[in-house]
Amino acid sequence: MAFGSSHRASAEIAHHLSALAAKVDEIARRAGVSASERLDLETTLASLPWPERRRLGLILESARVSATSEAVRDAVAVMLGLASEVWARTPPPAERNSESDREPERE
């Protein structure tokens, strides 16, 4: 019986993660992130400009705080963790572009 309960909880978390991934894609699309930069969740998260990263973080934190379901809280925690990992290793696109466009400083 415990396996059935665990399987059901995992299916619920997966369902909520899917809905959260769709929200991430929607935010990216509205921000003008191209379809080629939205092929998977990690690429989409990495392609988000700073304002949308901030907005998504606030949306996820709000969902975490207001969640009435443990499955929703777990899904949000997974998404927050993934976003944090991706953003820690990938600066927002505007920052990447401005750093690569800079000329080297001369002494």
pLDDT tens-digit profile of 31-74?
999 999 999 999 999 999 999 999 999 999 999 999 999 999 99
Q: What is the pLDDT of residue 84?
A: 97
Provide the whole-model pTM. 0.80
Instruction: For Cα atoms 12, 61, 57, give the angle at the middle one, nearest 5 degrees.
Output: 105
Is the pLDDT assigned to residue 3 strictly greater than 90?
A: no
Rounded to whole angstroms, how far apart are CA atoms 102 and 29?
A: 28
